[in-house]
Structure 1
Amino acid sequence: MTTASPLLSAIPGIRHAFFSRAGGVSGGIYESLNGGIGSKDDASNVAENRRRMAEALGVEPRRLLTAYQIHSPEVAVATAPWDTASRPRADAIVTRTQNLAIGVTAADCGAVLFADPNARVIGAAHAGWKGALGGVLESTIAAMERLGAARAGIIAAIGPLIRQHSYEVGHEFVERFIEADASNARFFIPAARENHAMFDLAGFIRMRLENAGVLMIDDTGIDTYSDERFFSYRRSVHRREPDYGRHVHAIVLEGE
């Protein structure tokens, strides 16, 4: 049902999970642990799936928080539960409040979980290509610092995401990254199709984290596209499915 980071798992008083698609109640293309509030799945199924995820994280369902994600560098600070209608429009959440599970939803995009064990500050970021290029990782680290974290003490874990061997992009995509920084060319290798390339999102995320001063980094190494245990937006498009399930990946500070 879950994948874990060895680095985060070794921290006392912190729970986390990169959830797979197993262990839920949804059917069809959403089978089975779909946590996507924005999906077209039955809302009662999504609620039950999220309840099960909250239980696995050791919190009440209302204390499992995700934002309304917009592929931005925006970060929300969580101090108390919020409901679906009032959830912030952001792509990362940080907190130092105990027993609040903060998470992101994803289905190919990168999910990065953060923790400063000494400051007891945690974060979760949704880092697709647009968010990663736009600075969501750096924004998350800065928001954690404002809560008392020290970036040299932050541990980060990169969750399941679409890997380079599955991530074909067009030349306009490549040009956007190279225009931002010519050294980004190293994250692309030629694709079989002319004027296309294969993009290393995980490598790009790791580079952004390292450049921001975060050096303790885990990576699950899981490819959501080729691994059927996980939802994949791109796989659903290639199969011409009408929608796709979303994972929740989350972290929580346990209470005293």
Structure 2
Amino acid sequence: MHPHPIQTPLLAHTPHGFFGREGGVSTGIHAGLNIGLGSDDDRDAILENRRRVVEAVTPGRSLVTVHQVHSPDCVVADIWADDARPHADAIVTDNPAYLIGILTADCVPVLFADAERNIVGAAHAGWKGALTGVTDRTIEAMEKLGAKRDAIVAAIGPCIARASYEVDDAFVRRFGEDDPANERFFAEGRRAGHAQFDIEAYVVHRLATAGLGRVMALGEDTYAQESRFFSFRRATHKGESGYGRQISVIGAAA
């Protein structure tokens, strides 16, 4: 079975795909399409999975990823060795030779495109990167390549949903201190001193606040769909020794 990415009409004119765990060759706790070079998985399996992703979207292109560190930092795509990938959490490009990708396992993957000017971006927004502006930095980096903010669209892929994302009151306060209006992204928790965080809605809000007119969220919960997606939190709750990462990719049209 080969991987079949989730695609959205919003990015219809741009090669892209949100992948889950289906269609890969990894086994055990990483079973499926594990893309994580930092995971404790067989390296040959990871490389074959990465090859399958490229084949499914843009055969012949070079897949470009970064060493993700939950930062707001964005880089312009280039070819770098696996062990020399820049520490960043977003990538932009206007080069149709590249397929840029970011890895997630509950965090929010965001794909951006200015289809008219053929400039694309990809961001990994965990709570820390989302709060410190990784999506804003991605938009700014696209503008430096020539994109127009009001022409950029963004699609949010599979991520942990509010029902699955319990956080403590200190976490809620951190977001409230940044902006009191952020309280609306938290629902009452099932336990005292806790809340449920809607990180997908928060990222939609950040994108809209940044001036993007068209934003789409898939509403796919990584935690709740074990057969379809990898989930760091689910693996942690199950006491597993590691976890796989899925990839979301986009490229400039050829």
Shorter-chain-normalised TM-score: which range? over 0.9
| 1:201 aligned onto 2:199 | yes
Query: Separation in 2 of the partners of 1:157 and 1:236?
Result: 26
| 1:51 aligned onto 2:54 | no
Aligned-partner SS, 1:3: coil
Task: Give 1:2 deviation, angstroms.
Answer: 1.6
Question: Aligned-residue CA RMSD in angstroms?
Answer: 0.9
Query: Separation in 1 of the partners of 2:230 and 2:102?
Result: 14
Query: Separation in 2 of the partners of 1:119 and 1:248?
Result: 24
| 1:148 aligned onto 2:135 | no
| 1:71 aligned onto 2:70 | yes
Task: Give 1:54 deviation, angstroms.
Answer: 1.0
Query: Separation in 2 of the partners of 1:219 and 1:96?
Result: 24
Deviations 1:180-236 (A, max 9, x none): 110000000111100100000011000000000012111111000001210000000
Task: Give 1:72 deviation, angstroms.
Answer: 0.6
Normalised by the length of structure 1, the TM-score is 0.96
Asked if 2 retains the 8 angstrom alpha-carbon contact of 1:70 and 1:91, the reply is: yes
Task: Give 1:81 deviation, angstroms.
Answer: 2.1
Letter in structure 2 aligned against 1:246: R
Query: Separation in 2 of the partners of 1:199 and 1:207?
Result: 14
- Per the alignment, residue 5 of structure 2 pairs with 2
Aligned-partner SS, 1:102: strand
Query: Separation in 2 of the partners of 1:253 and 1:118?
Result: 10
Deviations 1:97-119 (A, max 9, x none): 11200010000000000000111
Query: Separation in 2 of the partners of 1:82 and 1:35?
Result: 17
Point out where structure 2 has 5 or more consecutive residues left out of the alignment: none
Aligned-pair identity in percent equals 49
- Per the alignment, residue 17 of structure 1 pairs with 17
Query: Counterparts of 1:1-256 in structure 2 under 5 Å?
Result: 1-9=4-12, 11=13, 14-60=14-60, 63-78=62-77, 80-228=78-226, 229-255=228-254
